[in-house]
Structure 1
Amino acid sequence: MSNPGQADPTPITHARQLAEWFAAGSKPRDAWRIGTEHEKFGFRRQGGTPPSYEDQGIQAMLEGIQAKGWAPITDAGNVIGLTRDGESVSLEPGGQFELSGAPTQTLHETRLELAAHLRDVHEIAAPLGLGFAGMGFHPVATREAMPWMPKSRYKIMRRYMPLKGGLGLDMMLRTCTVQVNLDFGDEADMVEKLRVSLALQPLATALFASSPLLEGTPSGFKSLRGRVWTDTDPDRTGIPACVFEEGFGFERFAEYVLDVPMYFVARDGILHDVAGASFRDFMAGRVEALRGIPATMGDVADHVTTVFTEVRLKKFLEMRGADSGSAAMVLAKPAFWVGLLYDDAAQKAARALTRSWTLDEIMAMRAEVPQQALQARIAGRELRDVAREVLAISADGLRARGLGEEAYLAPLWEIAESGMTQADRILQLYHGPWAGDAAQALPFCEM
């Protein structure tokens, strides 16, 4: 979850303004960029426990990186994020350390950005006795063992999440993801990209599955993170059906967003807890706790960050459905989607492949993937077979860019050809050399 942006005080009184806000993200092809974000779990090398904010933990990590020329982002006097040259470092509720990269033109620039970040992390973490691992779900820690970061919005979510689903607090505390943010050309391009990416997001969840362990033992899932998201909050998660309806566009998505319940409204540095109230009611002055406070476009920008669909529309598209993993897997995520969506022929091929899939079939695939990964099925086909076809389309799209970026798909090809996900390899080690010691997953998955 990224750090808050700057508020826009422009009043909002109609859904059309939000639709125009989305539409303002439309860009010509030469302005399309790649924004990669990834999260990772901190662990103490002695004992493997998750580091707290204090006690030579996450706060010290932020201070160490800040000293390298980053500007701090604070909340009630605590440093909870950093920013520099379009990049930001932020914290998830359980101290998961996140890099939100600057928009880049090529995947090679993304690789250099990631390498520089990981060098800084290693340099600061080493004297603190910390490591950072890329996995989708914490392999050993209980929910109670995870620390809470001093970020105001998390207090509101901590109270509200258990009212909406059984695993919302686990989503907050014990999951890590990698995502890529991509641009669109106009409304028609947005619609096609959103439909393609929502249809294929379960495939990405399968390919990137890296979270088979729960509190030290196999959970029965390959992507436990993927399972967690199915019981977090049905009001704001999943695959919104409206995307596949006739006439879908910016305005229809705006209508959807306005009915998603809010978490908070920020004023003068204070977050007002209005969890459960819809933004539509806020605009109409029907939220008692916000009487006399007009809704603004800045509030919209904050609210959109609390919509947790598998692919999220902002002024760009966020591909959100993958477990975190190794540095190579972090780079494979943008490669997968850039290949599919930044070349016209590849995008059309991906749309042709998925066009006949019904919403019910896509939803059924999404439900199967956390447990079955590449053995799940869609339209009578096993996902491992679909994966090879989709990777071929993505590779063609990357080759058309002429930059040699198709090399970043290598770990995904290995998974699709072998049928062995990161989760399968972790389980193989758990039942073999690790002799049931799940704590070894943390140093094994260190980034």
Structure 2
Amino acid sequence: MMINKEMVRNQLYGEFIRPTNQNKNFIGIEIEIPIINLDKKAVDFNVVHEITGKFQRQFGDFKTDGVDYDGNVFSLKNHLNDDIVCYDCSYNNIEFAMGRERDLFSINERFSEYYTFVKESFEQHNHTLTGMGINPYRKYNVNEPIPSERYLMLYHHLKSFKNYDNVPMHFHKYPEYGMFSSASQVQLDVTRENLVKTINVFSKIEPIKALLFSNSVLYGEDNQFTCFRDALWEYSTHGVNPHNIGVYDVEFKDLNDLQSYLESLNIYCVMRDGAYINFPSMNLLEYFAQDYVSGEIYCNGRYRQIDIKPCINDIKYLRPFKFINLTFRGTVEFRSICTQPIRDSMCVAAFHLGLKDKLDELEDIITNDTVLYHRGYTAGELRKLLIQEKLPGFINKNDLCRLSRDIVDLSSDGLKERNIGEEIFLKPLYDRIKKHSNPGKDLINLTKNGIDIEKIIKDYGKLDITI
């Protein structure tokens, strides 16, 4: 049976829109953190595997959740609270994916316990963890993917940029960037009634988020950008279709508009019989219009050609990497923020959580602002300006700080209304506004002033357990 546009539309609705028909209010947090060998050598993967086993013995409720082709454990899951400790893309990156909770203090307490144990364990081998969005020691590492279905597929896709010779873009030289870049992601439950407005309004503050949270300096190669991660995504094969990455630079009128945007996305992989199949990135509707699609499958250590027949259920393998993503859980995932200095880890979730129910007030701030907005630039263009070390000349620094403070104040008001005390996690943002800085700018300035990167690594890896 031919798969028509209406079938695709209905499937997209079921996958991404229908799950928002809910009345929940949970928080999910994922924090990716670079591992660093202080000997200025590659991260020792034998040490990584040893510490994984040590963690599992210490925290007995964590059970093996993922094993690579070499028999090494790369994911552990606690089925009592759904916390996951795993490695992201490679064994150079550890991830703490915290199971959903109703408050930030519960998440922070468990994260702090896990992080402290893992960091102290690594330091026994002269390795450490630090809170940076790009690993400053990446040049020493072996940048190879975890030998598993998902990560081999992902790296194969990113390496295929040389096969795209007819696209209006250029590609950077870092297809392995997933192995040295780290993010701090937040998932929040959003009701269907608020879904469109949540995406519209939060998209407009991506420039402010860049100003407050940027922490991805390509140390040793580029000191002009405080959030080089944006370029790593945009100028990779994920960005062949610009709708798959970055800011929504359109405003949705309703759910139909949003669904039309989903239809405009590209797909580049599916699974058959437990194995991933890569193919050239193509529009979703174009994919389903074909009788067969030619792709590549990993088998016995190499890739071979395979033809597949599109199936409507392949939509579950649609993998956009927008700054704001819809998930099959009925959540909205905010994914544009770099890993923060570890002591500030909860400020990311606190910022989004406080604003989630303040959409009208947040929109009013943006609508009435003329410092940043209504100057002829889209939100995406403004974000590109604000991840540069120096502000563009048309922006008044003091007025921009006032605008940022108004938005953080609004987030604080939202948290105060929850009456839990979570507004304490916003303190780092007020400090940054006061200093007219962010962690990326701090790193650039510190290194310019002769501060050793080792000292910054140590400072950004500290955990303030007094909260």
Q: Does the TM-score normalized on the shorter chain lie above 0.5? A: yes
Deviates more, 1:123-132 or 1:192-201: 123-132
Gaps spanning 5+ residues in structure 2: where?
A: 1-5, 165-170, 295-305, 463-467
Do residues 92 (structure 1) and 123 (structure 2) align? no
CA contact (8 A) 1:140 1:438 kept: no
Do residues 55 (structure 1) and 51 (structure 2) align? no
Do residues 316 (structure 1) and 307 (structure 2) align? no
CA distance in 2: counterparts of 1:427 and 1:322, whole angstroms:
18
Q: Which residue of structure 2 aligns with residue 353 of structure 1?
A: 365
CA contact (8 A) 2:225 2:388 kept: yes
After the TM superposition, which residues 383-402 of structure 1 pair with which residues of structure 2 at under 5 Å, given as runs? 383-402=400-419
CA distance in 2: counterparts of 1:144 and 1:118, whole angstroms:
22
CA distance in 2: counterparts of 1:286 and 1:300, whole angstroms:
16
Do residues 420 (structure 1) and 426 (structure 2) align? no
CA distance in 2: counterparts of 1:254 and 1:168, whole angstroms:
32
Do residues 443 (structure 1) and 458 (structure 2) align? yes
SS for the counterpart of 1:220 is coil
Q: Residue 75 of structure 2 is aligned with which of 57, 61, 81?
A: 81
SS for the counterpart of 1:169 is coil
CA contact (8 A) 1:283 1:295 kept: yes
Q: Residue 191 of structure 2 is aligned with which of 182, 185, 191?
A: 185
Q: Residue 63 of structure 2 is aligned with which of 64, 71, 75?
A: 71
Q: Which residue of structure 2 aligns with residue 35 of structure 1?
A: 28
After the TM superposition, which residues 181-260 of structure 1 pair with which residues of structure 2 at under 5 Å, given as runs? 181-186=187-192, 188-215=193-220, 219-232=223-236, 233-234=238-239, 235=241, 236-242=244-250, 244-247=251-254, 249=255, 251-260=256-265
Do residues 21 (structure 1) and 28 (structure 2) align? no
SS for the counterpart of 1:24 is helix
Q: Which residue of structure 1 aligns with residue 302 of structure 2?
A: none
The 1:32/1:388 distance shift into structure 2, 3 A limit, reads same
After the TM superposition, which residues 285-364 of structure 1 pair with which residues of structure 2 at under 5 Å, given as runs? 285-289=290-294, 293=309, 295-297=311-313, 299-303=314-318, 306-314=319-327, 315-341=330-356, 343=357, 346-355=358-367, 357=373, 360-364=377-381
CA contact (8 A) 1:266 1:272 kept: yes
Give a deviation string over 1:307-328, Cα, whole Å, max 9, x none: 1111111221111111112233
The 1:414/1:265 distance shift into structure 2, 3 A limit, reads same
CA distance in 2: counterparts of 1:220 and 1:41, whole angstroms:
21
1:214 Cα shift?
2.2
CA distance in 1: counterparts of 2:253 and 2:415, whole angstroms:
31
After the TM superposition, which residues 95-174 of structure 1 pair with which residues of structure 2 at under 5 Å, given as runs? 95-142=92-139, 145-162=142-159, 163=161, 165-166=171-172, 169=175, 171-174=177-180
SS for the counterpart of 2:214 is coil
Q: Which residue of structure 2 aligns with residue 265 of structure 1?
A: 270
SS for the counterpart of 1:389 is helix
SS for the counterpart of 1:318 is strand
CA contact (8 A) 1:365 1:378 kept: no
The 1:104/1:375 distance shift into structure 2, 3 A limit, reads farther
1:381 Cα shift?
8.7
1:282 Cα shift?
4.2
Structure 1 segments, 4+ long, off by >6 Å, are 373-381
Do residues 176 (structure 1) and 170 (structure 2) align? no
1:438 Cα shift?
2.9
Give a deviation string over 1:149-194, Cα, whole Å, max 9, x none: 22333333333325163155253122111111111112x3011111
CA contact (8 A) 1:375 1:384 kept: no
CA contact (8 A) 1:135 1:211 kept: yes
CA distance in 2: counterparts of 1:134 and 1:373, whole angstroms:
23
CA distance in 2: counterparts of 1:317 and 1:430, whole angstroms:
36
The 1:116/1:270 distance shift into structure 2, 3 A limit, reads same
1:270 Cα shift?
1.3
Give a deviation string over 1:15-74, Cα, whole Å, max 9, x none: 212213222332555x211111111110123x133415x3323x3333332333322212
SS for the counterpart of 1:102 is strand
The 1:230/1:273 distance shift into structure 2, 3 A limit, reads closer
CA contact (8 A) 2:343 2:461 kept: no
1:144 Cα shift?
7.2
Between the two proteins, the alignment pairs up a number of residues equal to 419
TM-score of the pair, normalised by structure 1: 0.84
CA contact (8 A) 1:374 1:383 kept: no
Q: Which residue of structure 2 aligns with residue 9 of structure 1?
A: none
RMSD (Å), alpha carbons = 2.9
CA distance in 2: counterparts of 1:380 and 1:231, whole angstroms:
29
CA distance in 1: counterparts of 2:11 and 2:201, whole angstroms:
26
CA distance in 1: counterparts of 2:137 and 2:273, whole angstroms:
40
CA distance in 2: counterparts of 1:89 and 1:373, whole angstroms:
37
TM-score of the pair, normalised by structure 2: 0.80
1:265 Cα shift?
1.4
Q: What amino acid is aligned across from residue 441 of structure 1 in structure 2? A: I
